[in-house]
Amino acid sequence: MSETQAQNPINEARLWRDKGWTAEVIKNEEDDGWAVAMYLDGESEPALVGPWTMGRDKKNPKPLDVNAFNTLVKTASEVIRRHEQQLHAQLHKELRVDTEEDRLTISFDIVPDEEAPHALLTAHDRAGERLAQTRVRPDFRFNQQSAEAWVAGGFEKPAGA
């Protein structure tokens, strides 16, 4: 989709484009009904596909309107936000390790690089200052025991990491 298309709102019965989103009412391949697909500008796959209400004639879809579009944008945005939160949770883990001097935050962040996937093991002090960081394998077993061992070992790269 070009930038010009993204900037020009469209308000048609089966196609509505505004606010960086496009809603398209489509024939539901599963049955005789209709569905609506929500696309975020620049994306080829829909962020949301859901059933759409039939019109009064029970054959054609109900036309899109501003209220329905705004609700669809809110719902699709929430789906994307949840997906991003889930992905972040899968790629980022954090533990606390107490030392004699401080309470450290040890984080494990997977970098899903297609050519060289890896993870970063990072230690921050209570003030948020980074104390150490080392690159480890993405399948490194990150748990309380491995975090404590890394700290106790002076932040040397863990064996087998």
Residue 7 has a pLDDT of 66
pLDDT of 4 over the 70 cut: no
Q: Tell me: the pLDDT tens digits for 38-49?
A: 999 999 999 999
Please report the pLDDT score of residue 114 as a whole number.
86
User: Percent of the chain having pLDDT more than 70?
Assistant: 96
The span from the CA of 160 to the CA of 106, in Å, is 18
pLDDT at 147 over 90: yes
Mean predicted lDDT score pLDDT of the chain? 90
pLDDT at 8: 83
pLDDT digits (tens, 9 = 90+) for 108-124: 999 988 899 999 999 99
Q: Is the pLDDT of residue 36 over 70?
A: yes
Please check the confidence at residue 72 and state whether its pLDDT lies above 80: yes
Stronger pLDDT, 134 or 8, i.e. the higher one: 134
